[in-house]
C-alpha cells in the first residue's frame, strides 16, 4: 500500500532528498534497483502514488537505442504511453489532472478522491538530448498534490537521472555489442532481443482474434511506438489505383513533426510520390532514414522542422503493399537496424490479418451501402422466405400498403397478415391469395400484378422475383411494391387528351370543309351564303381557341408566360369582354360592380382570358334561360384571413378585388371539385359529353390567376349552379407590388 507522508515544503528536507537520491543514482547497483531507491526517496520530498521512468538507452552506435520502463506500479492504473510521448515531445514539465476512465480492476478503493489523479511528467533532457521521461502520479484530490515543491525536486533531479541513463546505455552497449554483430536480430540472446521475440509472439496471438481494420492498425501502431520508443507514428493504406496513401491512424505528432497539422483529420490522402512512406509503398521495401538533415534525397526539413529520424515499413501481401507504417522521431539516429528489423517483423505478422480485415471492411461497407439503398428506396421492398414469412422489409413497404409497421418485431406473413390488414380496402382479396399461390407453384418464375385498393382509391403494382443463395438455391422471393395511382391517372389523362383533341378538331373541321365545299360547287342565295360563311367563321374561331388553349398550356408548363402588367380599371376589361362575347341569345348576363372599385395591377389580356373562360363555361354548363352574374368588389385580407369575404385561409394578405361568376347550371359534384383544375379533366356525364370541351380552360385560368398572386376557388351544388371566385391585386398595394 502507499504511504503518504505529510506535505513537506521545507527547503532543507528537499535538499536532503536530492542529495540522497543523487547518491543512490550513482551507487554500484543494478540500474533498476537504483531507480527504485530514488522512487522510495521521493516519498520523503513529495506526496505521490506511483512513479515511472522511461529510458531511451542510446549508445555510440548510431541507431542502437532501446526503450525500457521502470515503474513503482503502486497504483492500479495502467500507464498511458501516449501521454508519456506527448510529455517527451513537449520538452517541458507537465502537471495536469487525469480523469480515471475504466481504471484497473481493483481501482474501486482509489476512486474515492473525486475520480481523478494528478499527473506530473518531466522529460529528461540534458545536453540538448532527450534521454527519457520521469513521471509521477498522485491519487489525491488534485488541489495541491505534486505542486511547486515536487516540481522543484524533480527538476533538480533530472540532470542526475540523464547522466545515469547515459551511463547505463553505454554499459548495456558494451555487454551486448559482441552478440549484435553475430546474432540475427530476433533470436533470443541479450535481454532486449528476448523481449522482442516475446513481443512478436504476443502480437501474433492478439492478431488471431478477428479484428476491425481500425482496431488492428491502432494496435500495430501502439506496439511499434512502444517497441521502438518513437515519439510519433502513423499508418497509411495504399490506394494503388489513385497512387495515393490514405492516413488511417496516427499518434504523437506535434505541429513541427508533420507537413500539415494532422490533428482533427479523419481521412486524408497524399500522392505516393512524396515522402518516405510513398517510397516504401511503391517499392514494397522497408526504409530507414537516420537523420533527414543529412539525407540529401529527402527534403523534409522544409516541411517538418523537428523531424530527424524516420522509418517506413510496408505491410505486403503477395508482394503488394497494402499499408505503410511510419515512425518518426525528433531525435537524430533514434532508429537503427534493430528497430527496423523489429518493426519489419511486426508488420510481417500483421500483413495477413490486415488483408482479412480489409476484405471484411469492404464487406461491411458494401452491406452498409446496400442497406442504405434498401431503406431509402420509395418502392416497398420485402424479402420473403419460401413460406411467405417477411424476413426483412424497408420502411416504404408499410407506407405503400398503407398499413402500420407491426410492433415488437412480430413476423409478418404474406398473404395472410397482409390480407388481414388490407381487407376493408382490397377490391378483390382473392387476387392477392391467388398471386401468392401461383408463386409457390412456380418458385423460379418472376410475377407481376396490379392491385386495386379503395378508400382512398389507389393502384399498386407488385413485382415478385425469386431470390437465391450463393449456391443458386431458391431462398424465397423479393416483393417490390410501387404506387402507380399517379401513373395510371396520367395515362388516363393522356388517352383522354388524344380522344378529346381529335374529337374537338374533327367536328369543326368537318363542318368547315362541308360548308366551303357547298359554297364552291353550288350557287346560294346571298342570305344563305352569309349564314354558311358565318358557320365556317364560328367553327374556325372554335378551332383557333382550341389551338390557343393548347399553346397556353404548353407555355404555362414551360414557365414561359410573362405578365405585362398595367394599372387597369376592371370595369373597362369587363366592358371589352361583353363586347367580345356579344349579345347572348339564350342567357342573361348581369354585371354587378360594388363601388368604390379601385383599379387593379394586372395583365389586361390575361384577365380577359380568365373572365372569358369562366363566363363561357357558365353559359356552356347552364340551361337556356339561365342567369349569369358577374360581380366584383374590393376585399381586405388580414393576417388572420379576416375580412376577406370568404377567401381561402392561406390567401395572401392585402387589398384585393374579389370577382365572382355565378350560374344556375348543372353544378359540379364535390368529388370532382378538386379535379376540374387539372389539365384535360372533364366531369364525365351525359350533360358534359353533349356539351363538348377540352378540359383545358380551368387549368389555364387557375395558372393565370396565380401568376397575378391571386387565388381561385368555387362553390357548387349539383343541379343548382356554381359560383367561381378569384382575386386580383389592387393597384398601389405595396404588399404584392414588390413581389
Site residues (CB under 6 A) for ligand ADP? Answer: 613, 617-618, 621, 663, 665-668, 676, 681-683, 688, 693-699, 722
**CA atoms in the 13 A half-sphere facing the CB of 529:** 8
CB 632 within 8 A of CB 614: no
Q: Which is nearer to ligand ADP, 146 or 676 (CB)?
A: 676
What is the smallest separation between the CB atom of 619 and ligand ADP, expressed in angstroms? 9
Give the bridge partners for 71, in sequence order. 52
Q: Are residues 40 and 3 in contact, defined by beta-carbon separation less than 8 angstroms?
A: no
Question: What residue has cell string 366584383?
Answer: 632
Q: What is the DSSP letter of 413?
A: B
Based on CB atoms, which residue is closest to ligand ADP, 157 or 628? 628
* C-alpha to C-alpha distance for 373 and 375, rounded to whole angstroms: 6
Structural contact between residues 281 and 249, judged by C-beta atoms closer than 8 angstroms? no
Nearer to ligand ADP, 336 or 667 (CB): 667
Q: Which is nearer to ligand ADP, 313 or 704 (CB)?
A: 704
Q: Nearest to ligand ADP by Cβ — which residue?
A: 693
| Minimum gap (Å) between residue 628 Cβ and ligand ADP | 9
- Provide, rounded to whole angstroms, the least separation between the CB of residue 594 and ligand ADP: 22
In angstroms, the CA 265 to CA 249 distance is 10
| Burial call 226-242: b when 16+ CB within 10 Å, e when fewer | bbbbbbbbbbbbbeeee
Sheet-wide strand order for 129-138:
65-71, 50-58, 129-138, 116-126, 94-99
Q: Pick the closer one to ligand ADP by CB: 362 or 684.
A: 684
**Shortest distance, position 697 Cβ to ligand ADP, whole Å:** 3
CB-wise, 370 or 551, nearer to ligand ADP?
A: 551
Residue number with CB closer to ligand ADP (233 or 697): 697
Contacts of 109 (CB under 8 A, 6+ apart): none
Query: What is the DSSP-derived secondary structure letter of residue 298?
Result: -
What is the grid cell recorded at 150? Answer: 515536487
> In the complex with ligand ADP, which residue's Cβ is closer, 333 or 673?
673
**Identity of the residue, 237 or 712, whose beta carbon is nearer to ligand ADP in the bound complex:** 712
Whether 105 and 76 have beta carbons less than 8 Å apart is answered as yes
Q: Output 321 or 700, the one with its CB closest to ligand ADP.
A: 700
| CA–CA dist 357, 97 (Å, integer) | 37
Q: What is the C-alpha separation between 8 and 14, in angstroms, rounded?
A: 8
Residues 6+ apart with CB under 8 A from 378: 396, 482
C-alpha cell at 460: 399498386
User: By C-beta, is 654 or 693 nearer to ligand ADP?
Assistant: 693
- Give the whole-angstrom CA distance, residue 475 versus residue 385: 6
3-state SS class at 629: strand
Give whichever of 553 and 597 is closer to ligand ADP, judged by the CB atom: 553
CB of 718 to ligand ADP, least distance (A): 9
Minimal distance in Å, beta carbon 627 to ligand ADP?
13
| Nearest approach, Cβ of residue 651 and ligand ADP (Å) | 22
Can you point out the beta strands (E) in 334-410? Answer: 380-385, 390-393
Beta strands 116-126 and 129-138 are: antiparallel
Pairing outcome for strands 600-602 and 474-483: unpaired
Closest CA to 451 of 424, 479, 475, 484: 484
Min CB(550)–ligand ADP separation in Å: 12
Min dist. Cβ of residue 515 to ligand ADP (A):
24
Smallest distance from the beta carbon of 598 to ligand ADP, in angstroms?
Answer: 28
Cβ proximity to ligand ADP: between 279 and 682 the closer is 682
Q: Cell for 674?
A: 378538386
Give φ, ψ of 30 to 5 degrees.
Answer: -60, 150
Q: In what order do the strands lie in the sheet with 474-483?
A: 390-393, 380-385, 474-483, 458-468, 447-453
CB of 705 vs ligand ADP, minimal distance in Å: 13
Least distance to ligand ADP, CB of residue 456, Å: 21
Minimal distance, residue 660 CB to ligand ADP, in Å: 12
Amino acid at each position: 500500500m502507499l504511504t503518504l507522508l505529510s506535505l513537506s515544503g521545507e527547503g532543507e528536507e528537499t535538499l536532503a532528498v536530492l542529495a540522497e537520491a543523487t547518491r543512490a543514482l550513482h551507487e554500484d547497483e543494478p540500474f533498476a534497483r537504483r531507480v527504485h531507491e530514488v522512487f522510495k526517496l521521493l516519498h520523503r520530498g513529495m506526496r505521490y502514488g506511483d512513479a515511472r521512468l522511461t529510458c531511451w538507452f542510446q549508445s555510440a552506435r548510431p541507431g542502437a537505442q532501446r526503450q525500457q520502463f521502470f515503474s513503482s506500479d503502486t497504483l492500479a492504473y495502467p500507464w498511458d504511453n501516449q501521454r508519456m510521448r506527448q510529455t517527451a515531445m513537449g520538452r517541458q514539465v507537465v502537471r495536469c489532472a487525469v480523469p480515471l476512465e475504466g481504471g484497473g480492476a481493483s481501482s474501486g478503493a482509489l476512486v474515492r478522491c473525486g475520480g481523478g489523479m494528478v499527473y506530473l511528467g518531466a522529460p529528461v533532457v540534458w545536453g540538448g538530448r532527450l534521454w527519457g521521461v520521469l513521471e509521477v502520479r498522485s491519487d489525491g484530490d488534485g488541489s495541491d498534490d505534486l505542486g511547486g515543491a515536487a516540481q522543484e525536486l524533480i527538476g533538480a533531479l533530472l540532470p542526475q537521472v540523464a547522466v545515469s541513463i547515459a551511463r547505463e546505455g553505454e554499459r548495456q552497449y558494451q555487454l551486448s555489442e559482441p552478440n549484435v554483430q553475430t546474432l540475427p536480430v530476433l533470436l533470443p540472446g541479450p535481454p532486449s532481443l528476448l523481449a522482442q521475440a516475446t513481443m512478436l509472439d504476443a502480437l501474433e496471438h492478439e492478431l488471431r482474434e478477428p479484428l476491425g481494420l481500425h482496431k488492428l492498425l491502432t494496435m500495430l501502431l501502439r506496439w511499434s511506438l512502444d517497441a521502438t520508443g518513437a515519439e510519433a507514428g502513423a499508418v497509411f493504406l495504399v490506394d494503388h489505383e489513385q497512387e495515393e496513401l490514405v492516413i488511417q491512424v496516427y499518434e504523437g505528432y506535434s505541429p513541427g513533426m508533420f507537413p500539415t497539422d494532422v490533428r482533427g483529420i479523419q481521412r486524408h490522402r497524399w500522392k505516393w510520390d512524396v515522402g518516405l512512406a510513398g517510397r516504401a509503398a511503391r517499392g514494397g521495401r522497408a526504409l530507414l532514414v537516420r537523420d533527414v538533415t543529412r539525407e540529401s534525397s529527402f527534403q523534409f526539413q522544409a516541411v517538418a522542422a523537428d523531424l530527424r529520424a524516420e522509418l517506413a515499413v510496408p505491410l505486403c501481401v503477395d508482394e503488394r503493399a497494402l499499408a505503410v507504417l511510419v515512425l518518426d522521431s525528433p531525435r537524430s539516429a533514434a532508429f537503427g537496424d534493430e528497430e527496423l528489423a523489429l518493426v519489419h517483423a511486426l508488420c510481417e505478422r500483421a500483413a495477413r490479418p490486415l488483408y482479412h480485415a480489409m476484405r471484411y471492411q469492404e464487406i461491411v461497407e458494401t452491406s452498409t451501402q446496400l442497406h442504405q439503398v434498401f431503406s431509402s428506396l420509395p418502392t416497398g421492398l420485402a424479402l420473403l422466405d419460401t413460406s411467405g414469412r417477411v424476413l426483412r422489409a424497408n420502411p416504404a413497404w408499410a407506407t405503400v400498403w398503407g398499413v402500420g409497421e407491426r410492433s415488437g418485431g412480430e413476423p409478418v406473413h404474406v398473404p395472410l397478415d397482409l390480407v388481414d390488414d388490407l381487407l376493408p380496402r382490397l377490391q378483390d382479396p382473392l387476387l392477392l391469395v391467388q398471386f401468392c399461390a401461383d408463386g409457390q407453384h412456380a418458385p423460379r418464375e418472376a410475377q407481376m400484378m396490379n392491385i386495386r385498393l379503395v378508400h382512398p382509391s389507389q393502384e399498386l403494382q407488385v413485382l415478385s422475383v425469386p431470390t437465391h443463395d450463393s449456391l443458386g438455391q431458391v431462398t424465397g422471393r423479393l416483393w417490390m411494391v410501387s404506387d402507380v395511382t399517379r401513373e395510371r391517372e396520367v395515362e388516363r389523362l393522356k388517352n383522354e387528351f388524344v380522344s378529346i383533341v381529335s374529337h374537338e378538331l374533327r367536328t369543326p373541321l368537318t363542318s368547315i370543309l362541308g360548308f366551303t365545299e357547298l359554297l364552291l360547287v353550288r350557287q346560294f342565295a346571298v342570305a344563305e351564303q352569309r349564314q354558311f360563311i358565318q358557320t365556317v367563321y364560328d367553327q374556325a374561331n372554335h378551332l383557333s381557341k382550341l389551338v390557343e388553349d393548347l399553346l397556353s398550356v404548353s407555355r404555362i408548363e414551360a414557365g414561359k408566360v410573362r405578365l405585362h402588367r398595367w394599372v387597369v380599371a376592371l370595369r373597362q376589361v369587363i366592358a371589352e369582354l361583353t363586347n367580345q362575347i356579344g349579345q347572348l341569345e339564350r342567357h342573361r348576363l348581369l354585371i354587378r360592380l360594388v363601388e368604390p372599385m379601385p383599379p387593379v395591377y394586372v395583365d389586361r389580356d390575361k384577365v380577359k382570358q380568365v373572365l372569358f373562360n369562366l363566363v363561357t363555361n357558365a353559359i356552356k354548363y347552364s340551361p337556356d334561360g339561365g342567369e349569369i352574374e358577374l360581380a366584383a368588389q374590393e376585399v381586405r385580407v388580414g393576417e388572420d384571413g379576416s375580412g376577406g369575404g370568404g377567401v381561402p385561409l392561406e390567401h395572401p394578405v392585402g387589398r384585393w378585388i374579389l370577382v365572382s361568376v355565378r350560374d344556375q347550371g348543372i353544378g359540379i359534384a364535390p368529388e370532382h371539385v378538386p379535379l376540374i383544375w387539372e389539365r384535360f379533366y372533364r366531369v364525365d356525364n351525359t350533360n358534359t359529353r353533349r356539351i363538348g370541351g377540352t378540359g383545358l380552360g380551368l387549368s389555364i385560368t387557375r395558372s393565370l390567376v396565380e401568376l397575378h398572386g391571386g387565388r381561385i376557388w368555387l362553390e357548387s351544388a349539383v343541379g343548382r349552379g356554381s359560383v367561381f371566385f378569384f382575386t386580383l391585386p389592387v393597384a398601389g398595394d405595396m404588399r404584392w407590388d414588390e413581389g
